[in-house]
């Protein structure tokens, strides 16, 4: 999709006329028309104004496969660098890492959901996470998912015991 096509599509998605976008961005409606049809290319400053008027990131207009709110919202630069490194790895490894991240996210959500005061549950989950960290290299994707499933089942059993 061309830059002009993106501008036009976003403007229409937001229900804006060229005149309304002119008021929001300060970019003349006649110029907007020329940008949308690809007759001329906006300057960087103009592109910034259009993006602000559309309430999106200028990155989204310029690059493919970029979220509307920009290239990266990660504030942790070390984590961002690690993700960039992961993108260069084999797809199989990326899938395994994504599943491991999903497992940690699920664990965190489960802990937040139950906010148990019972020490044994927390201790068991910490041991499970510790084992995952220690042996992540030796676990297959299926084993990691089984561990997560076992942890979720343990939570359900604890909740069932509380309720009954």
Per-residue pLDDT of 54-81, as tens digits, reads: 988 888 888 877 666 655 566 777 887 8
The residues of the chain scoring below 50 in pLDDT are none
Total domain count for the chain? 2
The pLDDT score that the predictor gives to residue 108 is: 84
Q: Do 81 and 56 fall within a single domain?
A: no
pLDDT at 19: 95
Q: Is there a contact between 7 and 38 (Cβ–Cβ < 8 Å)?
A: no
- Is the whole-model pTM more than 0.95? no
If asked whether residues 53 and 89 sit together in one domain, one would say no
Residue 91, exposed/middle/buried by CB under 10 A (0-12, 13-18, 19+)? exposed
pLDDT of residue 35: 95
Cα–Cα distance between 99 and 102 in angstroms, integer?
Answer: 5
Long-range own/partner contacts, residues 36-45 (CB < 8 A, 24 or more apart):
36/4, 36/5, 36/7, 36/8, 36/11, 37/4, 38/2, 38/3, 38/4, 38/5, 41/3, 42/3
Quick one: pLDDT at residue 60? 83
Q: Are residues 120 and 58 both part of a single domain?
A: no
Q: Are residues 88 and 153 in the same domain?
A: yes
């Amino acid at each position: 999709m061309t830059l002009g096509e993106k501008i036009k599509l976003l403007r229409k998605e937001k229900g804006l006329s060229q005149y309304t976008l002119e008021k929001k961005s300060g970019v003349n409606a006649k110029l907007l028309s020329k940008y949308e049809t690809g007759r001329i290319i906006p300057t960087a400053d103009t592109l910034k104004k259009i993006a602000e008027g559309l309430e999106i990131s200028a990155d989204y207009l310029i690059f493919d496969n970029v979220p509307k709110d920009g290239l990266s919202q990660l504030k942790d630069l070390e984590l961002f660098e690690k993700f960039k490194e992961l993108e260069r790895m084999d797809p199989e490894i990326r899938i395994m890492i994504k599943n491991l991240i999903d497992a940690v996210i699920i664990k965190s959500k489960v802990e937040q959901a139950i906010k148990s005061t019972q020490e044994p549950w927390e201790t068991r989950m910490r041991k499970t996470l510790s084992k995952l960290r220690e042996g992540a290299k030796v676990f297959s994707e299926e084993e990691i998912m089984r561990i997560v499933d076992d942890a979720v089942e343990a939570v359900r059993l604890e909740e069932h015991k509380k309720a009954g």
